[in-house]
Structure 1
Amino acid sequence: MKSIAIVTDSNCGMSPAQVKDLGIYMLPMPFFIDDKEYLEDIDMNQSEFFQHLEQNPGCRVSTSQPTPESVTTLWDKLLKDYDEIVHIPMSSGLSSSMQTARMLAEDYDGRVRVVNNQRISGTLRYSAIEAIQQAKNGLSADEIGTWLEETRFDSSIYITVATLKYLKQGGRITPAAAAIGTMLRLKPVLQIQGEKLDAFSKARTMTQAKNTMTKAIKDDIADRFGEKINLDVIHSHNLEAAEEFRKEVLTTFPNIGEVNIFPLSLSVSCHIGPGSLALTCSKVHPEIW
């Protein structure tokens, strides 16, 4: 049986220590503050990032995909110890990093399988964990990649933001829409199901937004996933609210034994800003465990 390394990027929301414990390798995603490049958890951590935003409200933040050199350097290192690599980048609908990785993989004689898994954050985390399990089950890198692509829509993310500033800055909404939303104090609920970040609903209060996200997950369980699911609460610099939301989610879904809390990756927070809350759902595939 061939040895397989599982690689994802820091948009999975896990810390370097967490991926190490799971046996996963992680590519740090770059982001920019006023045109200066940083790598998450290498040059700047969560606390430092949001402190900088608070102290410099006029700063501009943006993101980029990893450099080709950073990708191939990691692959070359891993292929000294592993036969194959399964590389699971963030959703191709949110970044061109998947397309770039596929192009780079053409020079690796089939030893690197780049997966168009179309996930991010907590749902990407579960894909990487499932890939680890499928490697233990004896699947090849190509078989793991095919399975991940076949199950890529078995997840949902619903997220509400505290400010429209960063969505406007990143061109995700028009300045006019941002101005109207700010004036009316709307809290949009956005969704990711497969590819892109799309509008889902509008709420006037955080309580309404949380109720909207919870109902959406209920509907997904009933219509798409069934009762065997993983739920995560994700946040950007909003831990206290996330802990309270977690309690509410556990009350709403009493059959779920555990709801994890994870921070939103910094490269996603660049587009969302501080104060966001999200509820993510991933279907469990008991046949692989």
Structure 2
Amino acid sequence: MKIGVLLDSSSGTTNEELKGTNIEVIPLHIILEDESDLSDTRENIEKYDVYKRVNDKENVKTSQASPGELEIKYTEMLKKYDHIIHITITKNISSMQDTAVMVSNQEEFKGKITVPEHNLAATAIKDCALYLNKLIKEDEKDVNTLVKKITEFENKFIAIIVPGDLSKLAKGGRAVKIFASILNAFKTKAVIHWAAKPKKIAMARKLSIIIEKVSGMLDKTYGKNGYNLKLLTTWDIPKRLLENTRSELEAEGIKFEEAYLPSIYAVHAGIDTLGFVAYSKEFDY
């Protein structure tokens, strides 16, 4: 059985990373204040100055791929693969997963599409997919086994987000407005463990305290150096904030790689948002 993996643009996956893999991507949507509907691609983010609009407090929103777009993508991929595992954006951000389940249950797709439930976020979805790609190349052909591997990956993954603008989260119903206004008034940052139910793990004004919290959570979960960590930022993040974050991570002895924060998160949390995504080294690909 030939198995393909489908992600959406919330995974931060680039075409360069997909060369030679069985992974494909369907874009989500960004809706501008004038109701212009853009596919979530870097080209569109830059062409339409989306991050500037976000920073200027314009009412920029996001939307899932439509059922029709999914039907087209599934049909296209099933010409190349016998089965598709579709790892969507998480349910606590979007209804994309429910829509994918609905479309996958249509007669022409029954038994050919699997949409696993999960709580992976941002680039962890991409890392999990690349791990599955490795297993498939090693001749793993059982869909149930691969879905179990997604759960195992999820159980050893951490996502921590430090929103650049909590008022945007509040506007989208993703934070309590009073809580957000208090934090913004005192220039305090919330450190949020992003899971099925996101949980605030700290409030801090100093970057050093934020990184201490991140370090403590990594050590508690993995021990020393038992993980792969990515620092996620937008390409428009203030240079000083990025440099200071790098310095604080290095001062804590934390090894990390850098990647771009998927634009869906930047739209909802601000362009100064910091993301820290880690997974166990046992899932290296």
What SS is found at the alignment partner of 1:231?
A: strand
Task: Letter of the 1:220 partner, please give it.
Answer: T
Q: 1:149 to 1:23 in 2, by over 3 A?
A: same
Cα deviation for residue 21 of structure 1 reads: 5.4
Root-mean-square deviation (CA), in Å? 2.3
Q: Structure 2 CA distance, aligned partners of 1:231 and 1:197? A: 19
For 1:47-62, list aligned pairs within 5 A. 48-54=49-55, 57-62=56-61
Q: Structure 2 CA distance, aligned partners of 1:125 and 1:246? A: 23
The answer to whether the Cα contact below 8 Å between 1:234 and 1:261 also exists between their aligned partners in 2 is: yes
The answer to whether the Cα contact below 8 Å between 1:7 and 1:85 also exists between their aligned partners in 2 is: yes
Moved over 4 A (4+): none
The TM-score with structure 2 as length reference comes to: 0.88
Q: Deviations over 1:81-103 (max 9, x none)?
A: 11111111122232221122112
Which residue does 1:180 correspond to in 2? 182
The answer to whether the Cα contact below 8 Å between 1:243 and 1:261 also exists between their aligned partners in 2 is: no
For 1:1-289, list aligned pairs within 5 A. 2-20=1-19, 22-34=21-33, 35-41=35-41, 44-45=44-45, 48-54=49-55, 57-107=56-106, 108-137=109-138, 138-193=140-195, 195-222=196-223, 227-236=225-234, 237-238=236-237, 240=239, 241-242=241-242, 244-246=244-246, 248-250=248-250, 252-253=252-253, 256=255, 259-285=256-282
Cα deviation for residue 159 of structure 1 reads: 1.5
Q: Structure 2 CA distance, aligned partners of 1:206 and 1:64? A: 32
Cα deviation for residue 251 of structure 1 reads: 5.1
Identity of aligned residues (%): 18
The answer to whether the Cα contact below 8 Å between 2:232 and 2:277 also exists between their aligned partners in 1 is: yes
Q: Structure 1 CA distance, aligned partners of 2:222 and 2:247? A: 19
Which segment is superposed worse, 230-239 or 13-22?
13-22
Q: Structure 2 CA distance, aligned partners of 1:139 and 1:129? A: 15
Unaligned runs of 5+ in 1: none
Cα deviation for residue 182 of structure 1 reads: 1.6
Q: Deviations over 1:85-132 (max 9, x none)?
A: 111112223222112211211231311111223111121121111111
The answer to whether the Cα contact below 8 Å between 1:101 and 1:114 also exists between their aligned partners in 2 is: yes
Which segment is superposed worse, 230-239 or 84-93?
230-239
How many equivalent pairs are there? 278
The TM-score with structure 1 as length reference comes to: 0.86
Cα deviation for residue 42 of structure 1 reads: 6.7
Unaligned runs of 5+ in 2: none
The answer to whether the Cα contact below 8 Å between 2:189 and 2:204 also exists between their aligned partners in 1 is: yes
Q: Deviations over 1:250-278 (max 9, x none)?
A: 55346x5xx22112111121210111112
Which segment is superposed worse, 118-127 or 170-179?
170-179
Task: Letter of the 2:120 partner, please give it.
Answer: R
Cα deviation for residue 186 of structure 1 reads: 1.0
